[in-house]
Each structure stands twice: as C-alpha cells, then as structure tokens.
Structure 1
C-alpha cells in the first residue's frame, strides 16, 4: 500500500489541471483569466480525493470523473452554448490524453515511476520522486499550444472547408462557393474586421458601374481614383483600401467593401455575420472553379460557436 501525501497530491493535480485548462483555452481560442483557470484547476484537484474510494467502484469513479471534467470546463469557460461545450470538452480530453502520454513517457525514460501511481484517476505522489514526468507533461502542453491550433484547422476542419456563403449589398444577395483558407489572416487594418477574398467576377452583377468599369478595363487598377469616383455615391461609406502580402504579390492593395451581411451556410444552420469586409480580387482564385471566395478561418470558428 503506497504512502499517500494528500497535500502533495492536491498540489500536483492542481498544476496538471491548470496546464490542461490553459492548453484547452489556447487550442479553442477561448477567453479565460488566470483566476478562472485556477478555479477550474481547483475543482479538478479536488477530484484527486477519489483515491479514497474503494478500488472496485470503477463505474462510480468514471461517472465522477466525467462530472468533474464538466465542472472544470464550465467553471473556466462559462457561458458556453451546447455546441461549443462539446467542442471544448473534445479539446480538454485531447490535451489530457496528450499530457498523460507524455507523462508516462517521461516516467519510462527516467525509470522514476516507482513513486508515482494513478489511483481512481488521480496522481498519487510518493517520496523520492523525480519530477521529470511533470516537465514532460508541461512540454506536451507547450507543443499543443504552439502547433496544435494550426494542425486542428488544417486536418480536423478539412471536412468543413468548402462552404457556400451569401453576400448582400443594398438588399441584393448573391451566393458564392467559398473555401475556408487557414492561411488567410487578412484583416482591415482600421477596424480589424476579417476579410473574405472574393473574385470580382462572382459579384459583378451587384456592384456599381464605376467598379465594373474599372475591373473590366485593361492595365493596373487605380484604386485611389476609383474610390474618388465613388465619393459622392452611397457606396462611399462601404469602401476600404486593404493592404495585403499574398495572392501572388509581395505587396498590393485590395478594394474592400462592407456588405449588408454575410450568411455562412453550414450543414446545420445559416449564420449571419455583419462584422466582415469583402476584398475584391481581379483574378481567378481556383483554376478549376471549385470555389470563388476565400473565407477567413475566424468566421468558421464564429459559426461553430453559435
């Protein structure tokens, strides 16, 4: 029977749970103050008292473990919609499993597992333990935070990357096929609104004659003169000039337009978004024509948060 130091058990589990919740917040891009992270970790540390339960009560302990996980997430990230709660729990268990695997790897490599056991799902620390395993768990959390968000966007979201969007100007809606571009970080430098890059030809039918004439003409676009020609029209309040560093150019400018709204159509619902800009791109975005717009990845996250 191992010697159990309750105070050490609580502290170690508090540190581990704090790291798990911190990495979950970063992966899910969720706001969480240090105090709320600590509150959630405190609830998780209390679960370490599960080691007092009889070893045979496995089903009871499993239920308690799930309940405490839910309480930790709610204490840290409340309020959450049901959809967002499920997403956060997935992030939470992903981080927990990754850190647990790194911890076991650290124990195996150092041969220091004799003083550390898992009882009832909680870490039990004995005397003479080298904390290499804790460093391994911290490293795993750091790796997930540093590279995990990009990996999730690139791989887990691949099934949802093609979405139809409906763009409205002056009460005239137009639907286009959009690709969620994880490399599109373009924002309006003034308002910080995300930018949806759209082929000019896809919106040509609902744009004013001045823009149509300029984009159909030969040679380079003179966006400043174009903006001046629209100064007296209702479109003047919609105009932005957006600098960018991609789309085949080292530096360039896009004509940005503020729509009435953009509707992102997912498999489950239609999400209306107003805080967004449309950047007109003169060339084709897809050689095959499979999409005609590049959707900012933040808009997908917003649509998933509803």
Structure 2
C-alpha cells in the first residue's frame, strides 16, 4: 500500500512493556502494595499484550471500553496480592490516575514539540518511525529508573513503619568463637551507621559484652581510655575496635566505641534475621532499669531482609 508505514512490532511491544512496568512500579509506590518481581513482570507483560491484540484483532471486545476495564482488573489482580476490596479499588484507581497523568504529560510534550497527532479508531496516533514514539521512549528512559528507586524507597519506609517497634526479640551474637543470647528491642531512634563502612550500629550493655570480654578489657573500651590503652588490648580485640562519631540531642559530637562482631541473629515469628559483621556499640550501663532487654536493635535490619 502506497504511503503505508512499517511497524516493528517487537520494538513497539518492548516500549509498551517498559511503560506498563513503570506505571505498575509507580502504582506500587503510591499505594504501598506488596508484590514481587515475577508478579510485576507478568502484569506488565499482560498489559503490553494489548499491542498485538489491537493490531491483529482490532475488533475484539477487549479493545472496547468495557474490555479495557476488565483488562485493567486482570492487570491489578496479577500485579498485587488481594488483601481487601477497598485496597483493590485503591490500586485500580491509582493505576488509572498514574496512567492518565503520564499520558497527559506525553500529550503535552507532543504539543510543545509540535508533533503531528491524529485520532484513529478512538486511539491517539503520533506520526513517527516504526520503532515507537520517541517521546514515549524518552519517558521510559527517564521515568523507569526514577519510578524503580521511588518505589524501592517507599517500600523500605513502609517496612520500617509497619514493623512492631515495641516488640522485644531474642538475639544471638556470635564473636570470636563465642555465642551469647540476649533480649533486644527495635529502637526506631537508633539510626546510627558507621560513616566509613556504612555498617549498622547496634547497642549492647555491659552484661552482654561482659560475656565476651574480661572485666579489665571491657573497662578499657571506654571512649576516654581507648586511645591510650589500645596497645594493651589483645590483638583480636584491637582489630575489631571501631570509633563511630555520633551526636545526641542537645550535645556536641561524640565518639562511640564499637566492636566488629561476626554475626547477629534476631529471632522473629517470620524467621531469623541475620546480619553479618555488624558493629556493636559498647555500653557500660544498663539500657533499661528493669533489664527487660540488653540490646537496642537497629531498625533497618528489618528492612534489609533475612541475610544482610
């Protein structure tokens, strides 16, 4: 046919697959829904399959308004776990809102660039090459990584807020061939991280550290003595000591004496959370007057997963 353009179906399908994945990731970040990479990929693949359906079966009922609504319900059902009807409707509405927002933005860019646009069969058609709309590719290249990191950040925030901060867990500390059991509480105020190694810092009282160290060695692990008594410590202790700067509310910058232990394991109803080679801050006093717990757990270990 004279003047007919060539459409590269694989390229256009890939473009729609990435665009749908970006929209689903943004939806997940907005509604804070639980999902998995496999479910997100399957949902994006199902959503993008409307491309070959529209080309080869343009009269199929799925291309109608009702069909597109049913198709959207299927996409949301694949992407996110069903928890309640209210959550499902919120996910669907957010999915449409983000889709319309991105679509409107793309139309605005087309208008700004004076791109030729027409309406054919109820669909907006842009006149470009057979590899897909370049503006859409631009949105994918810029928006996909942004949506991924936005969703990742949002889901980490949700994990921190949803965990039971007041719960106390059994904790096992492994260091220098010894294992010590204690009780630890998740402390949302403990955001301390070593600025050099980026390792999380846990806090343990003297009753815990006293099971690893001799009393005279533990006494030397105080900030006002560590610099002058470092050479008097055993070589394995010297190699484990780290000084971490911190600033408490209403005070100037200070240093915290920490030791690099082999592993910390936290027992939770969902399974053990394990952190390899974290830093443990040495506290020379009880963390609570009733000694209900002996360690303050860094909250981000609940975000990092079972092995961090």
Q: Sort the Cα spacing of 1:25 and 1:150 in 2 relative to 1 into closer, same or farther, 3 A.
A: closer
**Counterpart-to-counterpart distance in 1, 2:67 and 2:242:** 64
Q: Tell me, which stretches of 5 or more residues in structure 1 are unaligned?
A: 1-7, 33-37, 71-85, 87-92, 107-123, 128-137
SS at the partner of 2:300?
helix
Which protein has the larger Cα radius of gyration, Structure 1 or Structure 2? 2
> Between Structure 1 and Structure 2, which shows a larger proportion of helix residues?
1
Q: Sort the Cα spacing of 1:43 and 1:147 in 2 relative to 1 into closer, same or farther, 3 A.
A: closer
SS at the partner of 2:190?
coil
Q: Sort the Cα spacing of 1:45 and 1:252 in 2 relative to 1 into closer, same or farther, 3 A.
A: same
**Counterpart-to-counterpart distance in 1, 2:170 and 2:187:** 13
Q: How does 1:118-133 map to 2 (within 5 A)?
A: none
**Counterpart-to-counterpart distance in 2, 1:170 and 1:253:** 24
**Counterpart-to-counterpart distance in 1, 2:71 and 2:204:** 53
Q: Sort the Cα spacing of 1:229 and 1:189 in 2 relative to 1 into closer, same or farther, 3 A.
A: farther
**Counterpart-to-counterpart distance in 2, 1:289 and 1:95:** 45
**1:236 Cα shift?**
1.3
Residue 203 of structure 1 aligns with which residue?
Answer: 209
**1:240 Cα shift?**
0.9
SS at the partner of 1:177?
strand
How many aligned positions are there? Answer: 246
Q: Conserved in 2, the CA contact under 8 Å of 1:163 and 1:179?
A: yes
Q: Conserved in 2, the CA contact under 8 Å of 1:47 and 1:68?
A: no
1:296 counterpart (282, 298, 304): 298
**1:284 Cα shift?**
3.8
> Could you tell me the TM-score, scaled by structure 2's length?
0.56
**Counterpart-to-counterpart distance in 2, 1:174 and 1:24:** 40
2:267 counterpart (262, 265, 268): 265
**Counterpart-to-counterpart distance in 1, 2:258 and 2:17:** 50
Q: Indicate the RMSD between aligned Cα atoms, in angstroms.
A: 5.2
**Counterpart-to-counterpart distance in 1, 2:205 and 2:89:** 38
Residue 223 of structure 1 aligns with which residue?
Answer: 226
Q: In the alignment, does 2:25 pair up with 1:21?
A: yes
Per-residue Cα deviation, 1:22-64 (whole angstroms, up to 9, x for no partner): 6758979xxx9xxxxx988862541445887647999x96995
1:190 counterpart (186, 196, 213): 196
Q: Tell me, which stretches of 5 or more residues in structure 2 are unaligned?
A: 1-11, 82-87, 102-120, 125-142
Per-residue Cα deviation, 1:188-217 (whole angstroms, up to 9, x for no partner): 2332222212223332232233333346x9
Per-residue Cα deviation, 1:103-150 (whole angstroms, up to 9, x for no partner): 5998xxxxxxxxxxxxxxxxx9866xxxxxxxxxx9xx79x7598457
**1:254 Cα shift?**
1.2
